[in-house]
Amino acid sequence: MSNRWWVYQRERFPILAHGPLIAAFSASAVSYSALLRAQTSLPLDGTLLAFGTAFLFFLQLRIADEFKDFEDDSRYRPYRPVPRGLVKLSELGWIGVGAGLLQLAAALAIEPRLVPFLLLVWAYLALMSYEFFVPHWLKARPFTYMWTHMLIMPLIDFYATACEWLVRRADLPHELAWFLLVSFFNGMVIEIGRKLRAPADEETGVETYSAIWGRGKGVATWLIAMALCAACALMAARSIQFLVPAAVVLATLFFAACFIGQRFLASERSGAGKRIEMISGIWTLTMYLIVGVVPFAVRNLL
């Protein structure tokens, strides 16, 4: 029993890979919220709540995808854990429900006023699971499909920030919008980056952006999302007086991404897309650190 769940997490929700990203995601949210109000400390309970709830949100997103994609996975990707019978959808469903109960119990224990924000994320997740009740219309419009699904990222991030300002019974910080936009475009960077593949790695029935748009347009869209993410991050960094360090770091990473994108387009060998996926993860991790965690640490050291 324990071994098959270990195999499932390794293949579909690798904790060692996702954990640091989710930790940076949640820590950045509470740190940025605190910085906007010139706070020099973070609420321990709120910070742990932000991480735990965000981790379970992302787990629920994975479980929702397993249900939504089951038919296509059974037809085109029978090697995945659910189609090959390693775990059952019913088991994953109960895990998703259990995760929700944990989220609800934690919110009620620490700050009951968080519950409406929790319900908001759940409601949007439910709409995503049913493809907003227009699955065929969305499938025919890949870009619309992507951005409508990426809207859940700022919703999760908003909940994470509320674990700081609402737990401390403070007012909503007015400059939070730029940070939420960073989450939205970061989601697009990750989503596009993991679906750009070399021709040899394309699979029948698997809709990648390199297959739908072509590799050139796919890389261009990925870099545009990254540039928009950087622009929003710089506006967010400006609000906390951390503009110059953020600009230097993000410019360096962006030029590295341009180089990797060019190398991807020049190579058709198998595995060429892995570098795109890798730099997307590095970009996202660095983005959250440089906008929230690092400036908060610097502010306290000074």
Q: Which letter, b or e, does each residue of 200-210 get, where b requires 16 or more Cβ atoms within 10 Å of its Cβ?
A: ebeeeeeebbb
Evaluate whether 152 touches 127 at the Cβ level (below 8 Å): no
Helices of type H across 140-273: 142-150, 152-165, 176-193, 209-212, 215-239, 243-266
Q: Cα dist. 294→31, 42, 97, 286 in Å?
A: 9, 14, 35, 10
**pLDDT in single tens digits along all 302 residues of the chain:** 579 999 999 999 999 989 999 999 999 999 999 999 999 899 999 999 999 999 999 999 999 999 999 998 999 899 999 999 999 999 999 999 999 999 999 999 999 999 999 999 999 999 999 999 999 999 899 999 999 999 999 999 999 999 999 999 999 988 899 999 999 999 999 999 999 999 988 888 788 999 999 999 999 999 999 999 999 999 999 999 999 999 999 999 999 999 999 999 998 888 889 999 999 999 999 999 999 999 999 998 87
pTM for the full predicted model: 0.93
- For the domain made up of 20-25+43-169, the CATH class stated in words is mainly alpha
Secondary structure (DSSP) of 88-105: -HHHHHHHHHHHHHHHHH
Domain boundaries, the chain: 20-25+43-169, 174-302
Instruction: Note the residue count of the chain.
Output: 302
